[in-house]
Amino acid sequence: MEPVRRFLDYVDGLSARELVQKAVYLMAGLAAAVVVAGSLMMRSILSDIPSIDKLDEYTPSLTTYVYDINNQVIAEFSVEKRAILPLSKIPVDMQNAVIAMEDQNFFRHWGISPRGIIRAQLRNIIAHRRAAGGSTITQQLSRGIFLKPEKAYTRKIKEIVLALQIERNFSKQEILALYLNQIYFGSGVYGVQSASKLYFGKDVSEMTLGECALLTGLIPSPERYSPFNNPERALQRRKLVLQRMMAENYITPKEAAAAEAESVPTEKSTLFASHAAYFVEYVRQQLEPKYGVTQLWKGGLKIYTTLDLTMQVPAEDIMEKYLAKYDADAAKMPRPEEEKSGEKKDDDAVEKSTPSLQGAFVVLDTRTGAIKAMIGGRNYRDSKFNRVTQAVRQAGSTFKPFVWMSALMSGYTPASIVEDSPMAYYYDGKDWRLLEGATDQYAIDLAIQPFVGNKDFKIWVPNNFDSKFRGRITLRQGLEQSRNLASIFLVTRVGPTLVADVAHRAGIKRNLEAVPSIGLGTSLVVPLEMTSAFSTFANGGIHVEPFGVLKVTDNQGRMLEEAVPDETESFSPQLSYVLSYMMKGVVQRGTGSYASRLKRPLAGKTGTSQDSKDMWFIGMTPDLTAGAWMGYDDFMSLPMKDWTGGGTVVPWWTEIMETLLKDQPVRDFPVPDGIVFVSIDQDTGKLALPACKKKILEAFIAGTEPKEFCDVQH
């Protein structure tokens, strides 16, 4: 008590003036201390406040869109679904609805609303929690772009300071545009454009008054007020927005009533096509290394591709229809292990143990190499393995056109005679060599008898699919009927190295083993390369690299890249035409005759690989080249022994192409200079006489046509 008594005695001894003076000094000291403390606290709070100079350069995470050839959206790449629009492209109703609900005095205040802040804080005190924020649109913008999502008084101070700075440096129109483009609307979408796409499946410019009001009602709590989660609550919010708009004289009661009568969406719009997933991934794998993950997924690029959804969609449906039917047929066949044991499994067990057939289909623009359709498998969700670009399979007889081109380059003509007769090869330790004199099965058996059981002596005896031999046939007949031994005969004469070189020049990129069996398509190839190689023949010998991206622009519309066809003159127009003309016979009379129902000029080649593990058909018109493949991913043989490429793949290839070509003009392959047409006898390859019953108009390079007339008595 002694210090207190001394202080009171001291005060009593002071005059009134001295007492006032001392009080003033004390108050001034306390005020200075408060100012210093407040300054230090504000300095601490504002020390890490971001600079609004960055707002000029503000680039939010934008959605990258992938378009087809007709500017239809195929897919999107995005972390956040967002699009940026100028204010002029956002409906006035949307602007007014947001101002009416979020900030009625937006065009009158200078960034903050003191009355709103005080009112919000009183509500917080009454509620005993930080609930209402009282933020203006400018404050919400500063918070959404610059600050972390936390409820704290320090953040509110930063928000106010930033709002004041933004108002001082940007116009009201700029602030409103930024706000409308970055506000969150739920389900991962930001901005009114993406929200309009998600909720209504339309461009923001097409939104009605009711739709503008519905979106505005979502802003405080998008999930709580979502029409997908709670339609009744969404309707109440929309009604509230319309009432506020009437109160601000933005709309009339009649307009509000009409907007209230509009229905609300009950499910998310199917914004983007669910087709061409394999193609989209093909595009991503090309562009992501070039532009980087951030630019591709957040940069708002526009990727314009060569794909045509009007071709892609029916192709997917038709291929699936046929492969599902083949699956059902295969399930009825006994498995190899069942045939051995004689026991048949029950249907459920068979269904579980039988893998699904897979397929691949690709369409190229013959002249440019543009990919018009691509199906890498039956279901991208089940398997992301793209069989068009990644499957490495045996080509089977679809490889034979490379053998026939090699023959044409070596002086053969469509009328040249080749042998479809038995033959055998032996391996001398360095190379495979023809067993001379072994021209029939009996002679082959005699020749190899001494070496049976010798592990150092290897024998290869090729055969035809039907195990029959037709003897001497024309080059054309050998291709049309896909005669294996005729192909081996040609490989022996022209050399397997030339055949491999021709395939590479046509468009095959994989290494090919230059051995006699190359003529049977035992080498491994990729469907896209095979289809591209065939298009080289249809394109007059000019190879064009397949491509899927036409151009890429940034979010400002600036061109980043534009495709230019990559062309290489691989073969002469004359040789290419003669080969294509022979391949037309495959469709007209040969193994691909099912496709002749298209009733248009069409060239192609079927293929069935060793042990029926792969089924192929690649067909071409002057405008489109399409390749189809079917098989099991685990390289299991197809169960039906009579299944071939001509009997399985050609039917669904044909049905697809019937749809794709229905609006295309009927054109034939253009005839280059230096080609002559001569009527010949199909069996002898010589000039036809009136008595010849099997005549054909054959194409020859001028000077190579037959000079002798048919000498066979018919």
Q: What's the pLDDT tens digit per position in 230-272? A: 999 999 999 999 999 999 999 999 999 999 999 998 887 644 4
Q: How confident is the model at residue 6 (pLDDT cuts 50, 70, 90)?
A: low
Q: Is the pLDDT of residue 144 over 70?
A: no
In angstroms, the CA 225 to CA 111 distance is 27
Q: Contact, 439 vs 492, CB < 8 A? A: no
Confirm if 306 and 370 have CB atoms less than 8 A apart: yes
Q: Residue 436 pLDDT > 90, yes or no? A: no
pLDDT average, residue stretch 4-33: 60
**Stretch 128-139: mean pLDDT, rounded?**
64
Which is more confident, 135 or 292?
292
Nearest Cα neighbor of 575 from 624, 529, 510, 506 is: 506
What is the mean pLDDT of the segment spanning 15-41? 58
Question: Which of 145-154, 618-627, 640-649 is least confident?
Answer: 145-154
> pLDDT, tens digit, for every residue of 653-698?
999 999 999 988 999 999 999 999 999 999 999 999 988 988 999 9
Give the integer Cα–Cα distance in Å for 14 and 17.
8
Q: For the chain, what percent of residues have pLDDT higher than 70?
A: 78
Mean pLDDT check: name the lowest of 76-85, 341-350, 405-414, 512-521.
Answer: 341-350
Please tell me the chain's helix, strand, coil percentages from 3-state DSSP, rounded to the nearest 5: 45, 15, 40
Which residues lie below 8 Å from residue 43, measured CB to CB, with a gap of 6+?
none
pLDDT digits (tens, 9 = 90+) for 297-330: 888 899 999 999 999 999 999 999 999 999 888 8
pLDDT at 171: 86
Using an 8 Å Cβ cutoff, are 413 and 579 in contact? no
Which position among 102, 159, 167, 419 bears the catalytic label? 102
Q: Are 425 and 460 in contact (CB under 8 A)?
A: yes
Dihedral, CA of residue 649, residue 520, residue 481 and residue 676, to nearest 10: 110
102 is catalytic: yes
60 burial level (CB within 10 Å; 0-12, 13-18, 19+)? middle
pTM assigned to the model: 0.73
In the predicted model, is pLDDT for residue 43 greater than 70? no
Query: Around Cβ 658, how many Cβ atoms within 10 Å?
Result: 16
Q: What is the mean pLDDT of residues 266-280?
A: 73
| DSSP bridge pairs for 472 | 419
- What does the pLDDT look like over 212-226, one tens digit per residue? 999 999 999 999 999
pLDDT, average across residues 16-25: 62
What is the rounded average pLDDT of the residues 566-586?
Answer: 97
State how far the Cα of 525 lies from the Cα of 32, in Å rounded to an integer: 85
Measured distance CA(234)–CA(214) in Å, rounded? 7
Backbone angles phi, psi at 329, to 5 degrees: -65, -40
SS3 for 58?
Answer: coil
Give me the chain's average pLDDT, please.
84
Q: Residue 566 CB: number of other CB atoms within 10 A?
A: 12
List the structure tokens of 405. Answer: 């081109």
The pLDDT, as a whole number, for residue 663 is: 87
Residues pairing with 525 in the sheet: 393
pLDDT at 619: 97
Task: Give CA–CA dist 549/249, Å, rounded.
Answer: 50
593 is catalytic: no
pLDDT digits (tens, 9 = 90+) for 78-111: 766 677 788 999 999 999 999 999 888 888 887 6
The C-alpha R_g of the chain, in whole angstroms, comes to 39
* Structure confidence at residue 121 (pLDDT): 59
Residue 689: which residues within 8 A CB-CB, separation 6 or more?
681, 709, 710
Integer Cα distance of 159 and 374 in angstroms: 51
Question: Mean pLDDT: which of 6-10, 140-144, 165-169, 669-673 is highest?
Answer: 669-673
pLDDT at 350: 46
**What pLDDT is stored for residue 42 in this prediction?**
47
Does residue 24 carry a pLDDT above 70?
no
With a cut of 50, say whether residue 45 has pLDDT above it: no
Tell me which CATH homologous superfamily contains domain 80-260.
Biosynthetic peptidoglycan transglycosylase-like (1.10.3810.10)
User: Which amino acid makes up residue 268?
Assistant: K
**Residue 620 neighbours by CB under 8 Å, 6+ apart:** 366, 534, 535, 537, 538, 580, 583, 602, 603, 604, 626
- Average pLDDT estimate for 587-593: 93
Catalytic residue among 135, 142, 226, 397: 397
What is the distance between the alpha carbons of residues 26 and 367, in angstroms, rounded to a whole number? 93
How confident is residue 122, by pLDDT bands cut at 50, 70 and 90? Answer: low
